[in-house]
């Protein structure tokens, strides 16, 4: 039998390695027992009591109740644009003008036609009607004279002083006179205020007045004015542009109540009520906050985003607040007085039926089930399960076991 012998240096190396391994194992076992004896070091916080307000946070835009799209009613070439985008304008202020030479000429032509129609009425009243009346009186005298001649000739024929042909001629003359009388009477009647000629002249005057009104309106359309006081938030027209009806050339945001329009997650819908107060700030002025009130909640839900549109009224908007600014809003939806508050991060299974925390009890972390209330800003209200001043592990330590010994490291909340 042959004995195997190890070289001296190899034997020494093996011994050192075995000894080192044993030392490490013993050290690890000692550390584990020491940690179990002394406990895990954990950060703890105390349950604090305070008034707490739950808020729904959202972002949106500044918006006035409506906007006015401005365009033209006649085709033309832009000759003047005295305003710029973002400018505050007053009601009636000129926004832009069109070249109006042709429209002015059309108005002048209509005015001349109107004067002609007025002159025609004056002519009827001052000349045609008096002349027609005199013609009627003359025809009436002629008819009466012809009638007397016929009467006299009848007597003469009866006495055989004149021939029958003379009587016949006088009768024909009477008939002509009667016809002339009738015509002159109708002509005079037509010149009266209710007569046909006068009615026709008045109709012509009315048509001429309508033409004047139309020409004046078309000329007025060449100047576009601000219908209300507001801010010009869009300008899509320049000097020399050829414009026509149907196209929006300017957008005016009327002066009036300022609103904030937000899209809020539908899961918060049950918390919203009209009249709730909010604090808002424009992203451009994040350090300045202003008041707003919830005045509208849309009855419909956006199925694509799972959100609901709400509007808040700003009764006293700051001067820097402008149309379409992005804003951040905190809507106060509930308030609890003297609430027991703990950090949300300390709660295990917060969305489950039985949320819980590790409560410190004689240097041990003991599982404690809770009944929770309001939540917001990283804090949550404890309705049941903890008392004011109780200490809990300040974070949801998944590695920590129930009833484990711990060493508290107090942190400020």
Residues 95 and 244 in one domain: yes
Residue 272 in any domain: the answer is yes
Instruction: Note whether residue 48 is domain-resident.
Output: no
User: Between 164-190 and 196-220, two packed helices, what is the crossing angle to 10 degrees?
Assistant: 30
Range of the domain at 382: 53-62+256-410
- CB of 44 within 8 A of CB of 386? no
Is residue 295 within 8 A of residue 313, CB to CB? The reply is yes
Are both 388 and 336 inside the same structural domain? Answer: yes
Q: How far is it, in rounded angstroms, from Cα 200 to Cα 222?
A: 34
Q: What is the pTM of this model?
A: 0.47
Give pLDDT tens digits along the chain (413 positions).
Answer: 444 454 554 556 665 666 566 656 555 555 554 445 456 788 888 888 988 888 888 899 988 767 788 999 889 999 999 999 888 899 999 999 999 888 889 889 989 988 888 887 777 676 777 777 777 778 788 878 878 877 887 887 777 777 777 777 878 887 887 888 788 777 777 777 776 777 777 888 889 889 889 888 888 989 999 988 888 888 999 999 999 998 999 988 887 778 899 999 988 888 889 999 999 999 999 899 999 999 999 888 888 888 999 999 998 888 788 878 899 999 988 888 888 988 888 899 888 888 998 888 888 889 989 998 888 778 888 989 899 888 888 886 777 888 888 887 765 55
What SS3 state is found at 13? Answer: helix
Number of domains within the chain: 3
Block residue for tokens 């009647």 = 189
Residue 349: which residues within 8 A CB-CB, separation 6 or more?
Answer: 355, 356
- 157 and 75 in a common domain: no
Asked if residue 193 is part of any domain, the answer here is yes
Q: Which is it for strands 290-297 and 277-282: parallel, antiparallel or unpaired? A: antiparallel
C-beta separation of 378 from 344 below 8 A: yes
Q: With respect to residue 208, please indicate whether it lies within any of the assigned structural domains.
A: yes
**Separation of alpha carbons 317 and 64, rounded Å:** 11
What pLDDT score was predicted for residue 95?
92
| Residue 1 placed within a domain | no
3 in any annotated domain: no
Beta bridge partners of 77: 242
Sheet with 250-254, edge to edge strand ranges: 68-70, 250-254, 230-235, 88-89
Q: Is 161 exposed, middle or buried (0-12, 13-18, 19+ CB in 10 A)?
A: exposed
């Amino acid at each position: 039998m042959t004995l195997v012998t190890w070289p001296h240096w190899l034997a020494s190396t093996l011994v050192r390695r075995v000894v080192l391994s044993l030392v490490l194992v013993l050290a690890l076992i000692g550390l584990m027992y020491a940690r179990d004896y002394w406990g895990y070091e954990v950060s703890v916080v105390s349950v604090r009591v305070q008034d707490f307000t739950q808020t729904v946070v959202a972002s949106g835009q500044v918006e006035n109740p409506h906007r006015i799209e401005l365009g033209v009613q006649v085709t033309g070439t832009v000759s003047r644009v005295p305003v710029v985008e973002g400018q505050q304008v007053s009601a009636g202020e000129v926004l832009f003008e069109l070249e109006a030479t042709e429209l002015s000429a059309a108005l002048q032509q209509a005015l001349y036609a109107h004067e002609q129609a007025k002159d025609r009425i004056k002519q009827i009243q001052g000349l045609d009607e008096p002349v027609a009346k005199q013609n009627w009186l003359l025809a009436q005298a002629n008819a009466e004279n012809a009638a007397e001649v016929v009467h006299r000739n009848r007597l003469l024929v009866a006495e055989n002083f004149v021939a029958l042909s003379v009587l016949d001629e006088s009768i024909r003359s009477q008939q002509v006179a009667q016809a002339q009388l009738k015509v002159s009477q109708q002509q005079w009647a037509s010149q009266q205020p209710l007569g046909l000629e006068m009615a026709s002249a008045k109709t012509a005057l009315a048509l001429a007045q309508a033409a004047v009104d139309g020409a004046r309106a078309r000329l007025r359309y060449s100047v576009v004015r601000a219908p209300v006081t507001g801010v010009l938030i869009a300008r899509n027209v320049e000097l020399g542009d050829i414009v026509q009806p149907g196209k929006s050339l300017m957008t005016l945001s009327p002066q009036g109540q300022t609103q904030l329009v937000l899209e809020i997650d539908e899961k918060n819908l049950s918390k919203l009520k009209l009249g709730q107060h909010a604090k808002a700030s424009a992203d451009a002025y994040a350090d300045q906050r202003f008041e707003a009130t919830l005045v509208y909640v849309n009855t419909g839900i956006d199925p694509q985003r799972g959100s609901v549109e709400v509007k808040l009224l700003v009764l006293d908007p700051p001067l820097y607040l402008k149309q379409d600014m992005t804003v951040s809003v905190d809507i106060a939806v509930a308030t609890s007085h003297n609430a027991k508050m703990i950090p949300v991060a300390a709660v295990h299974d917060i969305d489950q039926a039985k949320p819980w925390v590790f409560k410190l009890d004689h240097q041990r972390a003991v599982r404690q089930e809770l009944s929770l209330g309001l939540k917001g800003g990283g804090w949550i209200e404890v309705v049941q399960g903890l008392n004011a001043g109780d200490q809990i592990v300040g974070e949801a330590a998944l590695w920590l076991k129930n009833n484990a010994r711990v060493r508290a490291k107090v942190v400020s909340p």
